[in-house]
Amino acid sequence: MHNSNSIDFSTVLASAVHDMKNSLCMLIQSIDTLSTQSAEQDKEQSEELARLHYEASRLNTNLLQLLSLYRAEKNQLPLNVEEHYIEDLIDEVLAKNELYIENHQLSVEADFDSELVWYFDMDMISNLLNDIFINALRYSKGKIHVKAELEAEQLKISIADNGEGYPESMLAISEVEMHDLDLNAGRTGLGLFFARLIAQAHQNKNKQGKILLQNGGSLGGSVFTLYLP
């Protein structure tokens, strides 16, 4: 018998995640303000704020992923596909991480045609790429290369770094189904599952988006590639 007082925990969780995400956005804005004020006065404080900003951004991304996975499970993953300049997309990702890049003196090269446009959900793809970019920041040894181009009538965006590359377990996990993920392992691949989910939700002319993980590339480390039809 159905109990009218029973709680749908997944809905409560989604609501709580939404509130936490809003609080984190406020926190990130406050960190940005403090960083601007202390940038030239206190280097040590500026570095600490950069670390705070990095971790808060990671939390925010994780919460966005949780919300998206919840909506996907409820078959309510809404896509707002519109035409966007790739320059705006990449600039947004770089701007979100500007503090960390400057404090760690990382070299980030972006290679794309300023006139390049494509159709996609800006929020979803921006969050997807931001999550991958944050991982590149963490595991690189100082260099990151972001490239966007058209290939075989698809948009191809790659993020490469000069770190140690993806471990074999990560390369294997990129094709694993959600129910086969080992959530007790370290880098579980939940972010990759989210990336694949968002990529595949983008469909056009009987084609769907996909992600690809490789090692090597122009910088010799890990290479994440997103394809959008």
The pLDDT confidence band at residue 75, using thresholds 50, 70 and 90, is: low
Confidence at residue 7, expressed as pLDDT on a 0 to 100 scale: 66
Mean pLDDT, rounded, for 31-60:
77
- HSE-up of 29 (CA within 13 Å, CB side)? 6
Q: Give the closest residue to 177 by CA, choosing from 187, 198, 192, 199.
A: 192
Mean pLDDT, rounded, for 87-91:
96
Q: How many helices, marked H, and strands, marked E, lie in the chain? A: 7, 9
Confidence at residue 79, expressed as pLDDT on a 0 to 100 scale: 80
**Cβ distance 209 to 202 under 8 Å?**
yes
Mean pLDDT, rounded, for 3-24:
70
More confidently predicted of 92 and 14 = 92
Mean pLDDT, rounded, for 94-111:
89
Give the whole-number percent of the chain exceeding pLDDT 90.
38
DSSP letter, residue 224 = E
The pLDDT confidence band at residue 36, using thresholds 50, 70 and 90, is: confident
More confidently predicted of 151 and 191 = 151
Confidence at residue 50, expressed as pLDDT on a 0 to 100 scale: 79
Res. 179: pLDDT tops 60: no
Res. 135: pLDDT tops 80: yes
Nearest-angstrom CA–CA distance, 56 and 48: 12
Confidence at residue 52, expressed as pLDDT on a 0 to 100 scale: 84
pLDDT tens digits along 1-11: 445 456 676 67
**Which pTM value belongs to this model?**
0.75
Res. 215: pLDDT tops 60: yes
Mean pLDDT, rounded, for 196-204:
88
CATH no. for 84-229: 3.30.565.10
**Cβ distance 59 to 22 under 8 Å?**
no
Res. 109: pLDDT tops 90: yes
Mean pLDDT, rounded, for 178-190:
55
Nearest-angstrom CA–CA distance, 197 and 191: 10
Going from N- to C-terminal start, the domains of the chain cover 7-78, 84-229
Strands (E), the chain: 81-85, 107-111, 117-121, 143-151, 154-161, 203-204, 207-208, 210-216, 221-228
Single-letter code of the amino acid located at 87: E
Res. 143: pLDDT tops 90: yes
**Cβ distance 146 to 197 under 8 Å?**
no
- Write down the mean pLDDT value for the chain: 83
